[in-house]
């Protein structure tokens, strides 16, 4: 796909005017970095980074049977969500494979706001429509008219509060709120893809023809955050941030051949629900126990793990890397991958094939990866 065939976000011209390094991603032309990826990563961990995530998909689900529909569509128990509350979840095939992962927020009794992966926007929307035929529900793709930003980091809430018409500090983690930022109506969710506190912000009813409104809000956030060292951050740092946090990337770490239990996000599955797509297969897998499980890995020496590198133990291949890079916090190789069940426990020593060499690494549960990295970074200092 050439640059001329790629979609542009509302901020595309702004990114180019700032000299950002641009690249294709999920069908969009997006910034990889502005100055350099590592400083942007570290600034997000220490202060806050502002991300253009307009490429993500945003869907509204409304109607008398919206809750009933979503309880059938997703393995997570939806009807118990309070107003404003959100949840991480997945779409599953009948065989239990992951079509995509997502965040869902309940805005009212029968009104929900959903955020899905950018690369899967069309696939997910078509899947949702296909599964809605027996339900009184309206599903609307609002992605094109809702520019979306994410402000992530320790200073994020403080900075956004200067622009907000409501108290953001009182919004619990994984909850949504309607508010105004700098006079613009937004849906703000206390969520993110970095392991840091912060908000993802969908600016309401702003078409590409009105892109200056998105630029105005973006620049207002940067202006208010200047004294707190807030900077714009590109995709490269977003990827290393989510990797340090042990978060999955669709197409790398999860896909339709991977189940929630294998990916170790089984907390999204409520097998006590009477029915949902994929339940029978997941009940069977839970009973028989998945034999392939996702782990985090930290290299003990030199080397940069990459997707496709084998994971080895006792002279045998026991798994494969699905995401890998260098952690800017500890300047060591880190990765996510899948291993055979006996090797899933934290602090198991394994070898990773990096180039023609085998490098020692230790496993850790993905949810604990960032905590372990933070402790190592303190020790290094």
Extended strands (E) in the chain: 21-25, 28-33, 49-52, 57-62, 86-92, 98-108, 111-116, 138-141, 148-152, 176-181, 184-189, 198-203, 231-232, 292-299, 310-313, 316-327, 332-340, 349-354, 357-364
- Cβ atoms of 287 and 302 closer than 8 Å: no
The confidence score (pLDDT) of residue 72 equals 98
Q: What is the full DSSP assignment across 315-379?
A: TEEEEEEEEEEEETTTTEEEEEEEEEGGG-STT-EEEEEETTEEEEEEEE-GGGHHHHHHHHHHH
The confidence score (pLDDT) of residue 379 equals 81
Consecutive H or E run containing 235: helix 235-244
- Read off φ and ψ for residue 200, nearest 5 degrees: -105, 135
Q: How many residues does the chain have?
A: 381
- Read off φ and ψ for residue 91, nearest 5 degrees: -90, 135
Instruction: Count other Cβ atoms within 10 Å, centred on residue 340.
Output: 15
> What's the N-to-C CA distance of the chain in angstroms?
44
Residue 180: closest CA among 207, 217, 147, 152: 217
Q: Which residues pair with 114 in a beta bridge?
A: 59, 104
Q: Could you say which architecture CATH assigns to the domain 291-381? A: Beta Barrel (2.40)
The confidence score (pLDDT) of residue 381 equals 66
Angle separating helix axes 369-380 and 235-244, nearest 10 degrees: 100
Domains of the chain by residue range = 3-54+146-242, 291-381
- Read off φ and ψ for residue 139, nearest 5 degrees: -120, 120
Instruction: Measure the CA–CA gap between 52 and 218, rounded to whole angstroms.
Output: 9
Residue 187 sits at the vertex; the CA angle it makes with 182 and 193, to the nearest 5 degrees, is: 105
267: three-class secondary structure by DSSP: helix
Q: What is the full DSSP assignment across 133-165?
A: TTS--EEEE-GGG--EEEEESTTHHHHHHTTBS
Query: Is residue 186 exposed (0-12), middle (13-18) or buried (19+ Cβ within 10 Å)?
Result: buried
Fold agreement between 3-54+146-242 and 291-381:
no
102: three-class secondary structure by DSSP: strand
- Cβ atoms of 45 and 70 closer than 8 Å: no
Instruction: Measure the CA–CA gap between 55 and 123, rounded to whole angstroms.
Output: 14
pLDDT in tens, the chain (381 residues): 566 689 999 999 999 999 999 999 999 999 999 999 999 999 999 999 999 999 999 999 999 999 999 999 999 999 999 999 999 999 999 999 999 999 999 999 999 999 999 999 999 999 999 999 999 999 999 999 999 999 999 999 999 999 999 999 999 999 999 999 999 999 999 999 999 999 999 999 999 999 999 999 999 999 999 999 999 999 999 999 999 999 999 999 999 999 999 999 999 999 999 999 999 999 999 999 999 999 999 999 999 999 999 999 989 999 999 999 999 999 999 999 999 999 999 999 999 999 889 999 999 999 999 999 999 999 876
12: three-class secondary structure by DSSP: helix
Residue 181: closest CA among 240, 237, 224, 229: 224
CATH for 3-54+146-242, options being 3.30.1330.10, 3.90.1150.10, 3.30.1360.120, 3.30.300.30: 3.30.1360.120
Consecutive H or E run containing 285: helix 279-288
In angstroms, how far apart are the furthest CA atoms of the chain?
62
């Amino acid at each position: 796909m050439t640059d001329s065939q790629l979609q542009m976000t509302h901020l595309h011209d702004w990114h180019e005017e700032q000299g950002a390094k641009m690249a294709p991603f999920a069908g969009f032309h997006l910034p990889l970095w502005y100055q350099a990826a590592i400083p942007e990563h570290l600034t997000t961990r220490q202060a806050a980074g502002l991300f253009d995530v307009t490429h993500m998909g945003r869907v509204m689900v409304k109607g008398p049977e919206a809750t009933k529909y979503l309880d059938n569509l997703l393995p997570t128990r939806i009807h118990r969500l309070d107003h404003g509350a959100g949840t991480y979840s997945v779409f599953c095939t009948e065989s239990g494979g992951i079509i995509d992962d997502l965040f869902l927020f309940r805005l009212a009794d029968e009104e929900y706001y959903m955020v899905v992966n950018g690369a899967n926007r069309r696939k997910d929307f078509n899947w949702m429509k296909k599964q809605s035929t027996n339900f009184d529900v309206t599903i609307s793709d609002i992605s094109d008219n809702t520019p979306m930003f994410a402000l992530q980091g320790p200073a994020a809430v403080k900075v956004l509060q200067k622009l907000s018409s409501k108290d953001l500090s009182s919004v619990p983690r994984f909850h949504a709120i309607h508010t105004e930022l700098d006079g613009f109506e937004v849906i703000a969710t206390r969520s993110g893809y970095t392991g840091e506190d912060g908000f993802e912000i969908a600016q309401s009813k702003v078409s590409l023809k009105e892109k200056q409104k998105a630029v105005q809000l973006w620049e207002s956030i940067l202006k208010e955050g200047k004294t707190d060292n807030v900077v714009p951050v590109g995709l490269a740092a977003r990827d290393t941030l989510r990797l340090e946090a042990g978060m999955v990337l669709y197409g790398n770490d999860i896909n339709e051949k991977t189940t929630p239990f294998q990916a170790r996000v089984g907390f999204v599955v409520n097998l006590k629900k009477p029915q949902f797509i994929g339940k029978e297969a997941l009940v069977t897998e839970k009973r028989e126990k998945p034999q392939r499980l996702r782990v985090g890995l930290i290299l003990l020496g030199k080397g940069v793990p990459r997707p496709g590198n084998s994971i080895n133990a006792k002279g045998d291949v026991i798994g494969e890397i699905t995401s890998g890079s260098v952690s800017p916090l500890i300047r060591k190789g880190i990765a996510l991958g899948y291993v055979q069940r006996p090797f899933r426990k934290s602090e198991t020593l394994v070898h990773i094939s990096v180039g023609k060499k085998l490098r020692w690494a230790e496993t850790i549960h993905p949810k604990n990866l960032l905590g372990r990295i933070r402790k190592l970074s303190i020790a290094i200092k």
